[in-house]
Structure 1
């Protein structure tokens, strides 16, 4: 072997070994390490056989927000709303959790709010110092209703839209991004071990320091469209939708259209546009051969990672495609208002095709549950029925706006999701709920309980969900990400802003739709 080739081979092996080591260690970050005391609560590691976990120090409910001077953003409109709503609530524990969770994104995660020369907002997830397209959308959604009362808050959300647009234009397949790279400094934020194990196309993306994680998922791009439409719907203003925004929407629509190709079509056209493969001890963190299992054409949009950031089994996710249908139609409304009729038509045509394909290929006859929505299909006739905790999920289909909560097909699907027909449904001494592959068996996500409440038509079920959510904070005053089915006190991620915003938004939703459940 020529010396240069030998040296290259040795160097490659060294990189792979280092990547494997850092990939393995990254699984210990951040969920398997102690988290410092923050804003009046603490969590420490324990010896429970399941990891990740924290052991709660049960404390009385109360104000656990940072001091006003330590908050990363202050909105008088949000603070006034919290005061007005909690004053009317009959359950003081519920009121305390709401008062802590609703403002948590503003209090702790606004890493950058730049007003000049352009509005730009960088919003981290919480204990991971990066901005996810998906998370950042859900983190600020509850604040849309207060923008008209708070110009600074409106600018913050406008800035988040601008930054999402910049990220999409930099890498449409990226799922989370770094802060300072857009300014040209090329500085990584936070821990870099999750990026160190990229291979192939994804390894090349690592060299682009804007990208923190490149787990392409349909719902991430839909989340960008969702926040834009939420802003438009709340303001009826087009001032957030400039030429960059139009370019980003065009890129999203083109990318989703490209991802309707099946595996054979991709090969005929020169191969897949997106691949992802990494050295890892967790199969859910990579794709076989970098592209996942083969799929046949359906008219739906291929995706490769779920909202939990876990790899899909089959490439067509029914919940993610359902969300895409809704948000493509919403985006077409904005594009029409901007005079972008051709692009609006393209979005509507794709939405109609995907909608038809969901019912043609995504409705299956389950052995015990009857006719229901599948979770993922491959176009060859194979499907998997399960549900994952974060939205979009099968449980969340009414929440994302795809079906009515009383739809018979949805109700059968819902009943199956909340039963042993779903391998990720768990029932224990603490409560019952949906988890997923992200943490493994026995772990229930608070997000799934909130989704259950959002989509329920039963007052009794909603009240049970509220009790579960409050009890599972074990006195900390905040949502976590998951807890063990037999003990609320074993939980993961004590600082995850998406869960906090989602709970806050649930209370706002109930105050609009079922005020008698929470008010005196």
Structure 2
């Protein structure tokens, strides 16, 4: 198995998109899904886990698609275990069922589609989350029987790309999470944690929900664009857009600014382009050194990230998974850019290649092998360029574990294989949670003892070992506390303790994993996990 990017798209049944509807909000009579998803609903699955039916009533779903419903029906014959099918049935459509908060058009350009996607119970749109949430539906894009311009699922992608471009151009491109567009009529959400934030560059809270600079958020905008183009080959959307290329240039400009070191060649402290402080009791919610973060060295070629994909502060600001993702998708947009502005694509490819070289040079660190007599090289999670490194991984994507999923490297890469072995070990990763309920990577966002199903899903998607996949799948089935949805985190020793029952990104990723297994390991889906 080499690069895993988009492998799961293939071999799906041909499905039409004859009709679809989208609503800006469910009817007032519909239950609040944040409460609905906490309660078990009949009919329960017929397996030993008796999983709840967790989809909202049809009239309460935020987006409906005949293509999706056809896919869900067809997969019932592909998945033999009743609990596994129920978990797929609940999880895969979760973003469409619950998180398409608003869909419409720009007030200044009726041809410009907009899609506002929430990740759960907050009316705010994260660049990273929304990109990943839609990625789950790439199989539907790949099986288009209509022109992408008239396909409703395609419209969701284009609307999200347009809205993300607007955020980057008109709000603050260093920010990660944004308020509803004015056209939606949805009032701005309040972020109590951010009331006393001190952020530079400053931002408008009526447009921005939170302003944590995360390199992977910029990469997420690029990835959504690349994923849409590679699935549909709809180049006209990009060539006719008045904002997309400008947003790419803003993204690149921020990345270049964040290559700045802490000190000049003569030792003077340079003024950082981004600062963030928050009044908090949690160390992961603010940056060291009065909002500047820990120092980084000169001449590395790496890009700083003040925060991780978990929204936790970095310890060392050169976050290697985020640099990997940015390099991959900076190169990925080149075929699109080449159709719009000659010459600029070459510049992007050059910078993507230079970043890859920097990762290989500074992102690898030596560790002692298990036999104690040799030294192995692994990818560090974070480095500072001075020689300090954080040898760990976090559950949130992009992670080191997930590098093959976004196509930066293959699962057969020697350094990746060594890194993976350590990541999935409590001896090699301080945030690997081992326990009888779920053994998985976690992170400081929830803390020690809490395993993240998201990381278990990625483990399956980056494995060719049937037994590893079976064991991890069975753990996931038993981790939902009967609710039939993927949680944010689960206590590795007590399955009735979990956080965040409504996490549509993790749900979509689970469905994405099942689609991947249908392509790579269909025999596993035919097995019983009872």
Place the TM-score, normalised by the shorter chain, in its bin: 0.7 to 0.9
Give the match for residue 24 of structure 1. none
Residues in 2 aligned to 1:158 and 1:491: alpha-carbon distance in whole angstroms: 34
Q: Is the 8 A contact 1:59 1:476 kept in 2?
A: no
Residue aligned with 2:209, SS: strand
Q: Deviations over 1:191-239 (max 9, x none)?
A: 420321211426x32x342111111111111111111111001110123
Q: Is the 8 A contact 1:300 1:353 kept in 2?
A: no
Residues in 1 aligned to 2:33 and 2:66: alpha-carbon distance in whole angstroms: 30
Unpaired runs of at least 5, structure 1: 1-33, 44-57
Residues in 1 aligned to 2:184 and 2:131: alpha-carbon distance in whole angstroms: 25
- Paired residue for 2:68, among 70, 78, 97? 78
Give the match for residue 350 of structure 1. 351
Residues in 2 aligned to 1:493 and 1:168: alpha-carbon distance in whole angstroms: 28
Q: Deviations over 1:404-429 (max 9, x none)?
A: 11111111101111112211011112
Residue aligned with 2:333, SS: helix
Give the match for residue 215 of structure 2. 218
TM-score (normalised: structure 2) = 0.84
Q: Is the 8 A contact 1:405 1:457 kept in 2?
A: no
Residues in 2 aligned to 1:311 and 1:496: alpha-carbon distance in whole angstroms: 21
Residues in 1 aligned to 2:184 and 2:122: alpha-carbon distance in whole angstroms: 22
- Offset of residue 175 of structure 1: 0.3
Verify: 1:95 aligned to 2:85, yes or no: yes
Residues in 2 aligned to 1:186 and 1:113: alpha-carbon distance in whole angstroms: 12
TM-score (normalised: structure 1) = 0.86
- Paired residue for 2:430, among 410, 420, 423? 423
Q: Deviations over 1:28-76 (max 9, x none)?
A: xxxxxx9963157269xxxxxxxxxxxxxx9722432011000000011
Q: Deviations over 1:155-194 (max 9, x none)?
A: 11111111111111122111011104x44979422x4203
Q: For this pair of structures, how many residues does the alignment match?
A: 468
- Offset of residue 128 of structure 1: 2.5
Unpaired runs of at least 5, structure 2: 1-31, 42-47, 371-375
Verify: 1:385 aligned to 2:386, yes or no: no
Q: Is the 8 A contact 1:307 1:391 kept in 2?
A: yes
- Correspondences of 1:454-465 after superposition (within 5 Å): 454-465=461-472
Q: Is the 8 A contact 2:104 2:184 kept in 1?
A: no
Residues in 1 aligned to 2:510 and 2:145: alpha-carbon distance in whole angstroms: 22
Give the match for residue 398 of structure 1. 404
Residues in 2 aligned to 1:115 and 1:208: alpha-carbon distance in whole angstroms: 23
Verify: 1:37 aligned to 2:35, yes or no: yes
Residues in 2 aligned to 1:282 and 1:502: alpha-carbon distance in whole angstroms: 28
Q: Is the 8 A contact 2:305 2:314 kept in 1?
A: yes
Residue aligned with 2:243, SS: helix
Residue aligned with 2:76, SS: helix
Verify: 1:364 aligned to 2:365, yes or no: yes
Q: Is the 8 A contact 1:387 1:394 kept in 2?
A: yes
Q: Deviations over 1:295-343 (max 9, x none)?
A: 002111111111111000001111111111110110112111x232332
- Offset of residue 120 of structure 1: 0.5
Give every structure 1 segment of 4 or more consecutive aligned residues whose post-TM-superposition deviation is greater than 6 Å. 266-270
Give the match for residue 480 of structure 1. 487
Give the match for residue 510 of structure 2. 503
Residue aligned with 1:246, SS: helix
Residues in 1 aligned to 2:328 and 2:40: alpha-carbon distance in whole angstroms: 40
- Offset of residue 115 of structure 1: 4.2
Residue aligned with 1:327, SS: helix
Give the match for residue 335 of structure 1. 337
* Counterparts in 2 of 1:484 and 1:223: CA distance versus 1, 3 Å: same
Q: Structure 1 or 2: larger helix share?
A: 1
- Offset of residue 483 of structure 1: 0.6
Residues in 1 aligned to 2:179 and 2:269: alpha-carbon distance in whole angstroms: 32
Residues in 2 aligned to 1:494 and 1:348: alpha-carbon distance in whole angstroms: 41
Q: Is the 8 A contact 2:37 2:502 kept in 1?
A: no
Give the match for residue 293 of structure 1. 294
- Offset of residue 104 of structure 1: 0.4
- Correspondences of 1:251-330 after superposition (within 5 Å): 251-265=250-264, 271-288=271-288, 289-297=290-298, 298-330=300-332
Q: Deviations over 1:324-379 (max 9, x none)?
A: 1110110112111x232332122111111111111111111113462111111001
- Paired residue for 1:443, among 434, 450, 454? 450
Q: Is the 8 A contact 2:393 2:429 kept in 1?
A: yes
Residues in 1 aligned to 2:196 and 2:344: alpha-carbon distance in whole angstroms: 37
